[in-house]
Structure 1
Amino acid sequence: MAGRTLLVAGVVATAVVAQGLHSSAHAEEGSAVAAASEPADPSLTEYVNAKQQYRLLVPAAWEAKGKAGADVLFEDPSRRSTSLGITVNPVKVASIEQFGGLQDVGDKLLDAERKKESTLGVTLLGSSSRTGATGATLYEYEYELDSTRGRKRILNTVTIFSSRLYILNAAFKCDKDGCSEEAQRGVALLRRLAGSFDVTTN
């Protein structure tokens, strides 16, 4: 999963570098606290990283892991192939729109996946943009990846705020023939978690 998160970071960072800008890895610690802005759900907690200025909901049972290149990585202990990670990189650009639109960034992301030797096929299932509480634009992508390592549903959220590039990457491993009804429930959870991600002010 961390490798895919770095792939996304590389795709977006390449676009930044192409404009004469620079990005580099940076990580800080965060903490999990009870969610206050979402409907009460005892299975979820809100993870807040005040220094890196972001927050999102995560299942209370999931474990936070240390992973090179990731600010934080959460795994489902009952299904290790299900994970969600965040990377944060400083950049010299004010917004995601300054170096690419929704489709442009999505095309670069999928092209990078297709070029990997392990990839058998990639299908974009949906993309959208939303405005966070701070006014930052967040690009969201969902695609199915068929590779020599299996079939996965991937969700990405990308934004820039306060001179930082934020990338959320979530993955759910499906059956060989596709995502079953049970898998769809797992993917639906990842959509909810990704949808809760936002950047914050101190």
Structure 2
Amino acid sequence: MALTSSFTVLQSSLSLRRDGLIYSSPKTFVSILLSKPKSSLVTQNCNPRSSSDEPFLTKRMLNLTLVAMSICGLPDVSSALLAEEMELERYTDSKEGFTLLKPSSWMKVDKAGATVLFQEANMGSNNIGVVVNPVRLESLEKFGSPQFVADKLVQAEKRKESTKEAEVIKFAERSGGGGLPIYEFEYIIDSTRGGMKRIFSAAFVASKKLYLLNIVHSDKPESPLDPHKRMILEQVLHSFDAATLV
């Protein structure tokens, strides 16, 4: 499972820290600011459609508007409203000390090696998992930059016999609750086991524990990840944080 392998390479790397190495400052995502749609775009259809299409279109436009307003930092949009419109619910593990949003329809399942795992109904290969284990470092930043960690993850994937291709798409650093550094990654894997998959990962270290979130979703050429589902998974990614700091 990608979640377990990702954790293994991070845990082994963090446990084998080498003193004296200094890495460059972490790179960040280039923010894409979406303009707030004009009211006419919501109420007026440019092309004739059946009345049954209108609720779907209205909800999709509302979601896009909420995401755009959230990115722009407008005060009249709360994260709770955005999560509700995207059918996300809060999951908190008080014992292990982490929290995240998850799609309300995804079911919790037991899986060896995972602290928690959620699977999409009838699509078990699409899943959201978290692994928590102790490490020696007090901060992920002391190990290296987001790019350095992303390279480690992809190198580990490329060493697998089943992997045909693995490529980093994005990496970034954000601040969680209390200023906790959290690294985020996006990469794709083409494997003989399951074909093309897109993986969103987030990691942080708190109280000498490594917390790793892996979101795995099929992204095959014949059935690519659609923009709406991508927005939902990105909200899950950005919601991952230490529970005691939220």
TM more than 0.5: yes
> Does 1:17 pair with 2:15?
yes
1:86 pairs, out of 130, 133, 141, with: 130
- Number of the residue aligned with 2:41: none
Rounded to whole Å, the distance in 2 between the matches of 1:184 and 1:118 is 28
- Number of the residue aligned with 1:101: 145
> Does 1:38 pair with 2:47?
no
- Number of the residue aligned with 1:154: 199
Rounded to whole Å, the distance in 2 between the matches of 1:144 and 1:179 is 15
Shift of 1:122: 1.1
1:121 pairs, out of 146, 150, 165, with: 165
2:189 pairs, out of 145, 157, 170, with: 145
> Does 1:172 pair with 2:245?
no
Shift of 1:159: 0.6
Larger radius of gyration: 2
Paired residues, number: 183
Shift of 1:37: 5.6
Deviations 1:92-149 (A, max 9, x none): 3210011121111111111001111011111211111101013211111101111112
Deviations 1:144-171 (A, max 9, x none): 1111121001111011012210000011
3-state SS in 1 of match to 2:177: coil
Shift of 1:15: 1.4
Rounded to whole Å, the distance in 2 between the matches of 1:76 and 1:122 is 24
Shift of 1:184: 3.6
Rounded to whole Å, the distance in 2 between the matches of 1:110 and 1:95 is 21
Question: TM-score under structure 1 normalisation?
Answer: 0.84
Question: TM-score under structure 2 normalisation?
Answer: 0.69
- Number of the residue aligned with 1:200: 243
- Number of the residue aligned with 1:73: 117
3-state SS in 2 of match to 1:52: coil
Rounded to whole Å, the distance in 2 between the matches of 1:79 and 1:165 is 28
2:234 pairs, out of 183, 187, 191, with: 191
3-state SS in 2 of match to 1:106: helix
Contact in 1 for aligned 2:15/2:135 (Cα 8 Å): no
Contact in 2 for aligned 1:46/1:57 (Cα 8 Å): yes
3-state SS in 1 of match to 2:205: strand
Amino acid at match of 2:233: L
Query: Which stretches in structure 1 are left out of the alignment for 5+ residues?
Result: 21-35
Amino acid at match of 2:80: E
Contact in 2 for aligned 1:151/1:178 (Cα 8 Å): no
3-state SS in 1 of match to 2:9: helix
Identity %: 34
Query: Which stretches in structure 2 are left out of the alignment for 5+ residues?
Result: 19-77
Deviations 1:50-104 (A, max 9, x none): 1111111111111001111111000011422211000001123210011121111
